[in-house]
Every structure is written in structure tokens, then in C-alpha cells.
């Protein structure tokens, strides 16, 4: 046996090449293979077991009793062979019978052999068979021999798949290491349920050819792929398009480290030396790393290995010329998308009708992709560990973000439970949809205004589907978030015009961009000298827009042009002092004049509103009121500032209640002067989309709500069952003289007065 792994494997592969190229039957080839390997490894026994009908069947042997071929069968996990296949691991034992999983099969006559080494034959990450050698002497096989066996096993996987020797299911599906139903926990990023097949955002490459015809040509392919991959990573780092710092920077650093790692490149080169194609060599080295990794339990190292896996797939895709994402290939059926992380633009490339859910290994509540997925109505589960190992492409997936879990390869009973839960939700939605023509009027005849929050062009469809009164918050920054560069004024204008056209007579309130802070745009430079520690309280929204006049002017022009001939509603986010509102309004008015002087058609009317998100504004609302056409309370930001509690922090998510005395009293204080001045006041934060909270808001006199489209039905049902004068009086009493938490009191009140709370 040669002393280097590459030479050892090469010697065997050269001989295998002849066997494989011969026009003989698959069984004859397998018989040839066991003889070649047995001789090369100086082993009395060499056997091949293949997975057929769920069990491992002895297909070919040199050294064991011939009569055992196609007779000896082992279940997955049974005996040494079954253990290798089940765990997709290599065993190398000097005394086989001493291993706890050893199972003696008398028909094989194997009791004479002491040493045993076996490697899994892997197809698409799942063991489809086992290649084993045995020796009379009790000696462990050398590392070079094991390496050679593993390389041969790769070649065998091609042979047996092409010859149709293994289960269809095993060769066709991309089973992961785990099989059978599995429940994996995650973190709810966007609520909802969805079922479909697992599709990886970056699909795995299926390796068609394993044995190289021209070693030098394969080497050139790998060199070129390495160059290309390094370029890509340098570009990612220089454009910082990869993310928003923190975790991502670390990932990039690790990518760089591996991309330039000589050891990795050398091992791939050695695998090519042994006679493998470039693709097979990359995969072979990756397989070896995966096996080593399983022996290490250090989570930090596991993370780094995960990065190497990503990079290895990238290299494989480059070398195989398969660069597209799953979106570019098109979704063919209902899909649950799986990715380490996604950018909002990448998510938007998917066909919304077929995208039933997203599973991310990372992800956070405020990530752009989460905001966009919420707007698309796609449930998202984040922080799901180990997806590549636990889920395979094509697996059936049931995603239940509300339950913070995904079920992979569900049993029939699991499907039934899931379907029943989905059906309950669907029935409720259908009942709400049937009521879309009914006005949101309370029992005593008060007409409440229910509008929807939107941000994407397609969101306008929600108006017709829900029967909402208009768009109470159009988050214009979405277009900025999903663009690779600052959207040109014409592009902004086109979007605003399309939205207004689709809304028809119904009002649309455009909020000027709320970017900066955690919604940083890669193409917009920030204050490089200052890393924001509290981005939510940082240089964002109107603060940033007023400092960046060019940006605000372009948006003002785009909105004024799009609103030509109609009433335009403009709202400024994060107004903290009246002068900020005045300055923004003045900027819009200057643009309006400029357009007018050039004879451009203008809006019939421009109405200006402020978002109340910063508590300080409440204190000076009277000063701003005369110039204000309307006010919208952004309770998401407002409550985080009132309680000094980061709205994205999972540990604080349940700590403070929207129905607390402090928030409700604060809102009451804001509502009073607005009512006295006869000016509209709305709530456009998530709070308004929850029926009980919405009931409290209406009870405080906030009769305009802008909410997520899915909430329109439940909130309307609540409104239509509400006796408002009674609620007003009782809620006022609860707030004047609080006797304990408000939520249970309001729940009891709703139950007593027959209020429908879905
Ligand atoms: C809010 O803060 O309540 C709001 C509606 O704005 P956003 O969620 O976009 O910050
Ligand atoms: Mg806000």
C-alpha cells in the first residue's frame, strides 16, 4: 500500500476505472470492486452492503461465505454495518467483537476475522450502503487505508446509483443524516403557518461525475473556482452588502480565513491527485471535515465549521457552474425556504404564491428580511439550528411559527393535527373575508376607520381583500431597503403613483423614509466616527432625512408628482420637536412651489401629519397642533421609549403590557387636545391590530386604526360587537382609580358585554 492517501486511492481508482468502464452487469462490477479493494488493502475480506427496502443487504463479498450474498440483511443501526449506515460514520476496530454494536451472523463465516473497518457509502449526505474490510490479524487499519476506502466509497455511490441498485427513495431524495419525523425548535419572527417542500435558497450541487479523465484539467478548474470565490468574498467585504455589521462581519472574517486557507486548498488538490473530479474532490474533503466535526462538541468550533460548509458549497457551485439561487430557478410547488440568512431583496425574488414559509438559521425581529416577510404575509421561524443536517431538499415541512417549531417529514397523524389547526385559522379568515363589505360600526352606531399598513407595491391588494378604508401607514423605506442602490426619484414616483392608482378613492398616508439606526442602508454612509449603541434612539427617520436634504427633496418631489391631481397625505416619522415637523413641511412646500413655477401639475391638496413616537412631542403637542392636519401614534416606538425597553429584545417582549395604566393614560393625554381641536388621531403600531388592545384604544377615543391586513377581520368583528359609550365610561373609571392590572379587567368587561374577541 502506498504511503500517501492520494497515491493509495489513486492506485485503486485506476483499477476501478477499468471495472467501471466495462460493459458488464452492475453485480459483476461490484464483484470486481471487492476484489480490487481486498487486494489493495491486503484484506481477506471486502464486502459491500447496499440499502434496499430499508435494510442493508450484503451485495458482494470477497472472503465471506458466497452463500450469504443477498441473504444477510441488517437493519439500520443493527450490528457494525448498520451502525455505520445509521450514523454515517467510519469505524476502524482492531477487535470487532469487542464493539458493543457487534452482531454475529453465522451464515457469513466471519468469526475468524478480528479487525474490521467500514465506511458509509454516501449519496447526497445519506448513507446508502457500507463498504467494509476485515482482516484475520487484530490490527487497526492505517489512516491512508481508511482515506482510500472513503474515496472508493464515493465512486461506488455513483456506480450503484447509476445502476439503480439502491432504493429509489434513497437515491432520489436528498435525505439528510436524520430520517423520520423530527420537530425542530426556533424563534418566532413572523407569525403564521405554512406547509410545503424544503427548498434551500442556495441549492446543493448534485455531483454527476466522480472519476476524472484529466487530472490537470480538474486542477485548473479548482484553481479558477478558488480565484472566483475569493473575488466574491472580497467584494462582499468591500461593499458591506452582506449585512449590517456585528455577527455578519464575523462571518465574513471567517469566510476570508477559510478562502485563503492553504490547508483546505491542499487537501482538495490531493483528492484530485487521487483521480477525482474537481466537484468530487471538494465534496470528499467536505465529507471528511463533517465526519471529524461530529467528534467535536465545541459549539464555537461547530459554528466555524458551519461557515466552512457554506464556503465549500459556494466553491462547489462555482466549479459546477450552478450559481443561481432557488428563486432564479423558480419554485415549482408550495415551498418552505431555508437559508442561513437572507437579504430583503433576495426574499422578494421569490414567487409569493408558492412561498409558504421561511426558515432561517439566523434572523432577528428587526432584520430587514423580517420586516419584508411580515409585509408579504410569509411566516418566518428564525434561529433554527442545524438545518442542513436535519432537513434535506425536498423534505415535507410543516412550519408553525406561532408554536415556534417546524416539523420535518411529518407522520400522517402530525399532518392531520396541523391541517386541523390550519383549517381553524382558514375558516376564521374566510368568515372575516365574507364580512369585508360590512362597515366597522359599533353597536351604538359609531363609525370606526380601519386602515392597513403597507410598504410593498402588492400590499395594495389588501385593500380589496379586507375592505379596509385606506392605507394608514405606507412605509416608504421598504423600497429603499430592497434596493441595492438609492432608488432614483423616478422609481420612487412610479411606486407612489401605482399605489395611489390602485387605492382609488381610498386615502393613502405616505410616511417619509424611516431609515437609519437598525434599518441602515449599505449604500448610505453613516457617521463613520460613531458606532451607534442605541440605534433605535439614534440618527434615523426624520432626523437623518433633515440632515440629508438631497434625499428628502427627492422623495418630496416624487410624492408631489405622484399625487398630482389628488389629495396627498404625507406623514413624518419620529418627530420629537415641533421645529422638525416645520422644517420638513417647509422642505415639501418649497418643492411644491418649485414644481408649480415650472408649470407641473400639483396635488389638489397636501395634508401633513406627524407620527407621535417620541414621548417629548406629547408635551408640546399644543404648540404643533395648529399646523398639523393629522396625528398618528406609532405605538411600537412609543412604548419602547416610554418604558425604555428595546422593542426587539425577546426577553422584554412580554415584560411590559400595552394595556398598562401608564401607556393608556399617556395615550389619553395625547387624544384630548386632538379631539378638542377636531383633528384626526390614529394609532398605526402593532397594538391596534390586537382586538382587545384595539378595544381599549377606541375606548380612549382613538377611532382610527391602521393595522396589519390580517388583523382587519378580527378587529372589525370586535368593533361591530362593541357598546362604545359604556366602554368609554368604564375604561375611564379603570384608569382614574386603577385596581390592579387593566388587561384582565378589560377581558372580563369584553366577556360581560358580549364583545367578540377572536
Ligand atoms: C411604530 O413605531 O409604531 C410604527 C408604526 O413605525 P415602525 O414600526 O415602522 O417603526
Ligand atoms: Mg416607528
Burial of 267 per CB tally in 10 Å (0-12, 13-18, 19+): buried
What pLDDT does residue 387 have?
87
| CA 466 to ligand 2 centroid distance, Å | 24
* Any ligand 1 atom below 6 A from CB of 514: yes
CA separation for the pair 124, 54 (Å, rounded): 17
Sheet holding 55-62, edge to edge: 73-75, 55-62, 45-52, 126-135, 115-123, 91-93
Q: Above 80 in pLDDT, residue 310?
A: no
Give me 341's grid cell: 440568512
Distance 536 CA to ligand 1 centre (A): 11
**Whether residue 634 has its Cβ less than 6 Å from ligand 1:** yes
Distance 374 CA to ligand 2 centre (A): 15
Residue 529's pLDDT is 58
Total residues found in the chain within this entry: 758
**239 or 326: which leads in pLDDT:** 326
pLDDT at 302: 65
Low-confidence winner among 173-182, 196-205, 364-373 (lowest mean pLDDT): 173-182
Pocket test for ligand 1, best of 473, 613, 705, 711 (most atoms within 8 A of CB): 613
Nearest CA to ligand 1 atom 6: 634
Among 46, 201, 306, 684, which one carries the catalytic annotation? 684
Backbone region of residue 701 per phi and psi (left: phi > 0; alpha: psi in -120 to 50; beta: other values): left
Distance 638 CA to ligand 2 centre (A): 8
Query: pLDDT of 132-174, one tens digit each?
Result: 999 998 889 998 889 889 888 988 887 787 777 765 444 443 4
Q: What is the pLDDT of residue 532?
A: 73
Pick the atom of ligand 1 nearest to 634's CA. Answer: 3
Q: Is the dihedral of CA 324, 327, 328, 334 positive or negative?
A: positive
CB atoms within 10 A of CB 367: 24
CATH architecture of 438-752: Alpha-Beta Barrel (3.20)
If residue 364 lies in a helix (H) or strand (E), which one and from where to where? Answer: none
Quick one: pLDDT band at residue 103, thresholds 50, 70, 90?
Answer: confident
Looking at residues 462-479, what average pLDDT do you find?
A: 94
Assess whether the C-beta atom of 540 lies below 6 angstroms from ligand 1. Answer: no
Is the CB of 129 inside a 6 Å radius of any atom of ligand 1? no
Active site residue 46: no
**pLDDT of res. 365:** 66
More confident residue, 159 or 285: 285
Top CATH class, 182-412: mainly alpha
Comparing 182-412 with 438-752, is the CATH topology the same? no
Q: Determine the distance separating the centroid of ligand 2 and the alpha carbon of 574, expressed in angstroms.
A: 7
Identify any residues that bridge with 606 across adjacent strands, giving them in sequence order.
Answer: 568
CA of 636 to the centre of ligand 1 (A): 5
Q: What percent of the chain has pLDDT over 70?
A: 90
Predicted confidence at residue 757, as pLDDT, reads: 93
Phi, psi for 508 (deg, rounded to 5): -125, 125
Identify the band that residue 111 occupies on the pLDDT scale cut at 50, 70 and 90.
confident
Cβ neighbourhood burial of 65 (10 Å; 0-12, 13-18, 19+)? middle
Instruction: Give the residue, 180 or 284, on which the prediction is more confident.
Output: 284
What is the Å distance from ligand 1's center to 472 Cα? 12
Q: Is 472 in the pocket of ligand 1 (CB under 6 A)?
A: no
* In the predicted structure, residue 6 carries a pLDDT above the cut 80: no
Give 652 Cα–ligand 1 centroid separation in angstroms: 17
Average pLDDT over residues 589-614: 97
pLDDT at 237: 67
Burial of residue 292 (CB within 10 Å: 0-12, 13-18, 19+) is exposed
CATH number of 5-171: 3.30.450.40
With a cut of 60, say whether residue 505 has pLDDT above it.
Answer: yes
Q: Does residue 57's CB lie within 6 angstroms of at least one atom of ligand 1?
A: no
Residue 519 confidence (pLDDT): 67
* pLDDT tens sequence across 25-61: 888 889 999 999 999 888 999 999 999 888 999 999 9
CA of 635 to the centre of ligand 2 (A): 7
- Of the bound ligands, which one is closest to the alpha carbon of residue 686? 1
Q: Is the CB of 221 under 6 A from ligand 1?
A: no
Pick the catalytic residue from 135, 201, 306, 368. 368
Report the half-sphere exposure of 613 (CA within 13 A, side-chain side): 22
Q: Helices 742-752 and 724-736 sit at what angle, rounded to 10 degrees?
A: 150
CA 404 to the chain's CA centroid: 13
3-state SS string over 239-268? HCCCCCCCHHHHHHHHHHHHHCCHHHHHHH
Q: Which atom of ligand 1 is nearest to the CA of 686?
A: 3
Lowest mean pLDDT among 187-201, 519-533, 690-704: 519-533
Beta bridge partners of 633: 612, 683
Q: Is the CB of 459 inside a 6 Å radius of any atom of ligand 1?
A: no
DSSP state of 540: B
Question: What integer is the mean pLDDT of 217-240?
Answer: 84
CB-based contact 734:747 (threshold 8 Å): no
Measured between alpha carbons, how far is 57 from 51 in angstroms, rounded to an integer? Answer: 6
Question: What's the pLDDT at 642?
Answer: 96
Across the range 329-340, mean pLDDT stands at 90
User: What residue spans define the domains of the chain?
Assistant: 5-171, 182-412, 438-752
Query: Which of 542, 573, 693 has most ligand 1 atoms within 8 Å of its beta carbon, as the pocket-test mutant?
Result: 573
Q: Is any atom of ligand 1 closer than 6 Å to the C-beta of 455?
A: no
Query: Measured from the CB, is residue 477 less than 6 Å from ligand 1?
Result: no
Our CA angle for 166, 171, 172, nearest 5°, is 140
Q: What is the pLDDT of residue 300?
A: 66
Find out whether 114 and 95 touch, Cβ atoms under 8 Å: yes
Tell me, what's the pLDDT at 478? 86
Give the closest residue (by CA) to ligand 1 atom 8: 636
Residue 411 pLDDT > 70: yes
pLDDT tier, 692 (very low <50, low <70, confident <90, very high otherwise): very high
The C-alpha cell 445509521 sits at: 86
Per-chain mean pLDDT for the chain: 87
Radius of gyration (C-alpha) of the chain in whole angstroms: 32
Reported confidence tier of residue 370, pLDDT bands at 50, 70, 90 = confident
Substitution site in 476, 636, 639, 640 for ligand 1 pocket (most atoms within 8 Å of beta carbon): 636
**Strand 449-454, strand 471-475: pairing:** parallel
Is the CB of 400 within 6 Å of ligand 1? no
What is the percentage of the chain residues whose pLDDT exceeds 90? 55
Pocket test for ligand 1, best of 515, 519, 685 (most atoms within 8 A of CB): 685
Enumerate residues with CB within 5 Å of ligand 2 (an ion): 613, 634, 637
475 lines ligand 1 (CB under 6 A): yes
516 and 543 Cβ atoms separated by less than 8 Å: yes
526 is catalytic: no
pLDDT at 369: 76
Q: Can you give the pLDDT at residue 26?
A: 84
512 in ligand 1 pocket by Cβ < 6 Å? no
Residue 238 confidence (pLDDT): 66
Return the residue matching grid coordinates 424544503: 198
Q: What is the pLDDT of residue 250?
A: 63
pLDDT for position 243 = 39
Bigger pLDDT: 634 vs 327? 634
What pLDDT does 681 receive? 98
Amino acid at each position: 500500500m502506498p504511503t500517501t492517501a492520494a497515491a493509495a486511492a489513486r492506485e485503486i481508482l485506476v483499477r476501478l476505472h477499468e471495472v467501471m468502464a466495462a460493459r458488464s452487469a452492475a453485480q459483476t462490477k461490484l464483484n470486481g470492486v471487492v476484489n480490487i479493494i481486498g487486494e489493495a488493502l491486503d484484506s481477506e475480506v471486502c464486502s459491500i452492503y447496499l440499502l434496499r427496502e430499508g435494510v442493508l443487504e450484503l451485495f458482494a463479498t470477497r472472503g465471506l461465505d458466497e452463500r450469504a450474498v443477498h441473504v444477510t440483511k441488517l437493519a439500520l443501526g443493527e450490528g457494525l454495518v448498520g451502525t455505520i449506515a445509521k450514523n454515517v460514520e467510519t469505524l476502524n476496530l482492531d477487535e470487532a467483537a469487542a464493539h458493543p454494536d457487534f452482531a454475529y451472523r453465522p451464515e457469513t463465516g466471519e468469526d475468524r476475522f478480528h479487525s474490521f473497518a467500514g465506511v458509509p457509502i454516501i449519496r447526497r449526505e445519506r448513507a446508502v450502503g457500507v463498504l467494509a474490510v476485515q482482516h484475520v490479524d487484530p490490527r487497526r487499519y492505517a489512516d491512508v487505508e481508511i482515506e482510500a476506502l472513503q474515496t472508493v466509497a464515493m465512486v461506488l455511490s455513483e456506480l450503484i446509483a447509476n445502476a439503480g441498485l439502491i432504493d429509489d427513495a434513497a437515491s432520489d431524495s436528498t435525505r439528510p443524516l436524520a430520517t423520520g419525523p423530527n420537530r425542530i425548535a426556533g424563534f418566532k419572527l413572523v407569525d403564521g403557518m405554512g406547509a410545503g417542500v424544503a427548498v434551500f435558497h442556495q441549492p446543493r450541487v448534485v455531483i454527476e461525475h466522480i472519476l476524472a479523465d484529466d487530472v490537470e484539467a480538474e486542477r485548473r478548474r479548482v484553481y479558477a473556482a478558488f480565484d472566483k470565490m475569493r473575488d466574491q468574498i472580497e467584494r462582499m467585504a468591500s461593499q458591506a452588502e452582506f449585512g449590517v455589521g456585528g455577527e455578519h462581519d464575523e462571518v465574513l472574517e471567517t469566510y476570508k480565513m477559510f478562502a485563503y486557507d492553504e490547508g483546505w486548498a491542499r487537501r482538495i488538490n490531493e483528492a484530485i491527485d487521487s483521480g477525482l473530479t474537481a466537484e468530487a474532490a471538494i465534496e470528499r474533503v467536505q465529507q471528511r471535515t463533517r465526519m471529524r466535526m461530529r467528534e467535536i462538541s465545541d459549539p464555537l468550533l461547530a459554528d466555524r465549521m458551519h461557515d466552512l460548509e457554506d464556503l465549500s458549497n459556494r466553491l462547489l457551485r462555482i466549479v459546477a457552474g450552478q450559481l443561481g439561487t432557488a428563486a432564479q430557478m423558480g419554485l415549482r410547488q408550495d415551498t418552505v425556504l431555508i437559508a442561513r440568512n437572507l437579504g430583503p431583496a433576495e426574499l422578494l425574488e421569490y414567487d409569493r404564491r408558492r412561498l409558504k414559509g421561511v426558515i432561517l438559521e439566523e434572523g432577528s425581529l428587526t432584520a430587514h428580511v423580517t420586516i419584508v416577510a411580515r409585509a408579504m404575509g410569509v411566516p418566518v421561524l428564525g434561529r433554527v439550528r442545524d438545518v442542513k443536517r436535519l432537513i434535506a431538499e425536498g423534505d415535507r415541512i410543516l412550519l408553525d411559527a406561532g408554536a415556534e417549531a417546524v416539523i420535518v417529514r411529518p407522520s400522517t397523524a402530525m399532518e392531520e393535527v396541523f391541517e386541523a389547526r390550519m383549517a381553524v385559522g382558514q375558516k376564521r379568515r374566510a368568515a372575516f373575508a365574507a364580512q369585508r363589505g360590512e362597515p366597522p360600526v359599533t353597536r351604538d352606531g359609531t363609525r370606526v376607520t380601519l386602515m392597513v399598513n403597507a410598504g410593498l407595491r402588492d400590499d395594495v391588494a389588501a385593500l380589496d381583500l379586507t375592505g379596509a378604508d385606506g392605507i394608514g401607514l405606507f412605509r416608504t423605506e421598504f423600497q429603499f431597503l430592497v434596493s441595492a442602490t438609492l432608488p432614483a426619484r423616478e422609481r420612487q414616483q412610479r411606486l407612489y403613483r401605482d399605489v395611489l392608482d390602485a387605492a382609488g378613492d381610498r386615502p393613502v398616508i405616505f410616511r417619509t423614509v424611516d431609515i437609519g439606526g437598525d434599518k441602515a442602508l449599505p449604500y448610505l454612509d453613516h457617521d463613520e466616527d460613531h458606532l451607534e449603541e442605541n440605534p433605535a434612539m439614534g440618527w434615523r427617520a426624520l432626523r437623518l432625512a433633515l440632515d440629508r436634504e438631497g434625499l428628502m427633496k427627492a422623495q418630496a418631489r416624487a410624492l408631489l408628482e405622484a399625487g398630482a391631481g389628488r389629495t396627498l397625505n404625507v406623514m413624518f416619522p419620529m418627530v420629537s420637536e415641533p421645529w422638525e415637523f416645520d422644517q420638513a413641511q417647509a422642505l415639501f412646500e418649497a418643492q411644491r412651489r418649485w414644481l408649480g413655477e415650472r408649470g407641473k401639475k400639483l396635488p389638489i391638496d397636501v395634508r401633513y401629519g406627524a407620527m407621535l413616537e417620541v414621548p417629548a412631542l406629547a408635551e408640546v403637542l399644543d404648540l404643533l397642533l395648529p399646523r398639523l392636519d393629522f396625528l398618528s401614534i406609532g405605538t411600537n416606538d412609543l412604548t419602547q421609549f416610554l418604558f425604555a425597553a428595546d422593542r426587539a429584545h425577546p426577553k422584554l417582549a412580554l415584560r411590559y403590557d400595552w394595556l398598562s395604566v401608564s401607556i393608556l393614560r399617556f395615550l389619553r393625554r395625547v387624544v384630548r387636545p386632538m379631539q378638542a381641536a377636531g383633528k384626526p388621531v390614529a394609532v398605526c403600531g402593532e397594538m391596534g391590530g390586537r382586538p382587545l388592545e384595539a378595544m381599549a384604544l377606541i375606548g380612549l377615543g382613538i377611532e382610527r386604526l391602521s393595522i396589519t391586513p390580517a388583523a382587519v377581520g378580527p378587529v372589525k368583528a370586535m368593533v361591530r360587537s362593541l357598546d362604545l359609550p359604556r366602554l368609554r365610561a368604564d375604561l375611564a373609571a379603570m384608569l382614574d382609580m386603577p385596581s390592579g392590572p387593566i388587561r384582565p379587567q378589560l377581558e372580563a368587561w369584553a366577556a360581560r358585554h358580549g364583545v367578540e374577541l377572536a
